[in-house]
Amino acid sequence: MTAVAILLPVLLLIIGTPVFLVLLTGVAVVFLFLQPIRPVALHQVLFGGLDNYALLAVPFFVLAGQLMGRSGIAERLIDWVLALVGRIPGSLGVATVGGSTVLGAVSGSSVAAVAALGRTLHPQLERAGYGRARAAGLVASAGAIDIVIPPSIAMILYGLAAEQSIARLFVGGILPGLVMAAMMAGFIVAMAVWLRLPVTGRFSAAEVARTSRAALAALLMPVVVLGGIYNGWFSPTEAGGVACLYAILVARYHYRSMSWGQIVATAGDAALLSARILIIVAAAGLVTWVLTTRGVPQAMVAWIAALEVGPVSFLLAVNAALLLVGCLLDPSSAILVLAPLLVPVAVSLGVDPIHFGIVMTVNLAIGMFTPPFGLNLFVAQQVTGVSVTELYRGVMPFVLVMIAALAVITYVPSLSLALWRPL
C-alpha cells in the first residue's frame, strides 16, 4: 500500500490531473489503508490549513497584480526601461529583462510578465535581428525573474510552509533577483556584440523624463509596499491590502484606464485565481500533516545526518532535484509540498532557512522556463506563435545563464541575508 500511495499520485500527475486532486488522492490512500483515522480529522486538517492570517496576503497581492497588469502599466514601464538603456548594445533585449524585473516588483506574476512582454516586445526583438526562437526564449526566461523579485506569492507560501518571516523573505529576494537580471542582461550585451546586432533606440534625457513621469505612479508601488514592510508600518498581509488600494486608485483616478465595472470584473478573476492557489494550499497542508505524523521529516534528517553530507553537497543535490521538479510543477505546489520536508534537513546542516527559501524560489523560477514542461514556455508559445521546438532551442542559453546565477545565489548566502539583518 505504501507503493500505491506513492505511485498513484505520480501516475495522476503524468496524465494531467489537477495538482490538488493528486495530493488528496495520495492522502486518501494513506487514510484508508496505512493510517486509519476518523474521517473528521481529514476535514479538520484540510480547513485548518487555511485558517492562517498570513494567507490573506495571497488574494491581496493577486488582485493588486491583476489591476496593475490590466491598467496599461506594463507598456508604460517597458517604455521607461527602453528610454533608460538606449544606445547600449542589445538595448532591446536588456529592456526586456529590465521590464520583466520592474513588472515583477509591481505584479509578482511570471505568467503575466511573459504575456505582456511577448505581446509588446517579441515582434520588435525579431525585427532587431534576435530571430524568432531567440526572441521567444528571451521573453520566456526573463519572466522567471518576477517570482524572485518581491512581492512574491511563492515567498509568501514558503514563509507559511516553513514558518519563516515573510517580510525577511521579501527583503532577502531583492539582491538575488537583481543578480539574475544583471547576469542575463550581461549575457545579452555580450551576445549582441558577438552577433553584431544593431543598436536600437538612443538615450535622450527628454525621453527619460517623459517616460518617468508616465511610469512614476507604477514605480512607487513597490516603494510603498516594501518601504512600509521594512520600516514596520504594516505587516506583509496588511501590505497586500495597501497594494490593492493603491492599485485601484492608480488605475481608476491617475491613469483613468479602468472603469469601476472593469475593476469589479478584475476582482472576480483574481478571486478565481486565488481560489486555485488556496485549494492547493489546503491539500498540501493535509499532505504535510500526514508526513509529519508518520515521522517522514524526522527520518529524512536522521538519514542525511547518517550520510554525513555537508551543506555544500546538500545544496547541490537540492538544486538538481528542484530544477527537475520546477519544470513539472508550478512553484506554489512544489514549495508547499517540499518545503516542510527539506527545511528541517537544511537547518540541521546549518543552512539559514531564509537563504534556503530564496534558493528554493530561484530553482523553481528557472523551472518555469525549462523544457519540456515549464509553464512560461506554453504561455510564450501562445503569445508569440513560435513552435515548441524553436522555443526549446531559443531558451536553452538562458537556462544556462540562470543556472550560473543560481550557483552564485546558492553559495554566496550574504546576497539573501545582508539586507534583512536590521529587520
Query: How far apart are the C-alpha atoms of 355 and 253, rounded to whole Å?
Result: 40
- pLDDT class of 68 with cuts at 50, 70, 90: confident
pTM, two decimals, is 0.81
Q: What is the pLDDT of residues 195-234, one digit of tens each?
A: 887 766 666 778 788 888 888 887 888 788 878 877 778 8
CA angle, 243 then 329 then 301, to 5°:
95
Instruction: Give the pLDDT score at 327.
Output: 75
d(CA 200, CA 208): 15
Mean per-residue pLDDT of the chain: 80
The ranges assigned to domains in the chain are 53-417
302-344 residue pLDDT tens: 766 676 778 888 898 888 888 888 776 778 778 888 888 889 8
314, three cell numbers: 546538500
What is the tens place of the pLDDT at every residue in 77-87?
777 887 887 67
Report percent pLDDT > 90 for the chain: 11
What's the pLDDT score for residue 201?
A: 62
Instruction: Pick the more confident residue, 104 or 334.
Output: 334
pLDDT of 359 reads 94
**Which position has the grid cell 546538500?**
314
Q: Residue 8's pLDDT band (boundaries 50, 70, 90)?
A: low
Of residues 219 and 397, which shows the higher confidence score? 397
What does the pLDDT read at residue 24?
A: 76
Banded model confidence at residue 389, pLDDT cuts 50, 70, 90: confident
Give me 52's grid cell: 492562517
Q: List pLDDT tens digits, range 109-149.
A: 676 677 777 777 788 888 878 888 888 888 888 888 888 88
Q: What distance lies between CA 172 and its chain's CA centroid?
A: 14
* CA separation for the pair 181, 207 (Å, rounded): 23
pLDDT beyond 90 at 403 = yes
Burial class (CB in 10 A: 0-12, 13-18, 19+), 169: buried
Average confidence (pLDDT) over 180-206: 82
Instruction: For residues 253-264, give the mean pLDDT.
Output: 87
Confidence check: pLDDT of 422 > 70: no
Does 5 score more than 60 pLDDT? no
Lowest mean pLDDT among 154-168, 202-216, 299-313, 392-406: 299-313
Mean pLDDT value of segment 156-172:
87
SS3 content of the chain, % helix, strand, coil (to 5): 80, 0, 20
| Residue 89 reports pLDDT greater than 70 | yes
pLDDT higher than 60, residue 391? yes
Interior/surface letters 230-262, b for 16+ CB within 10 angstroms, e for the rest:
eeeeebbbbbbbbbbebbbebbbeeeeebeeee
C-alpha cell at 173: 529576494
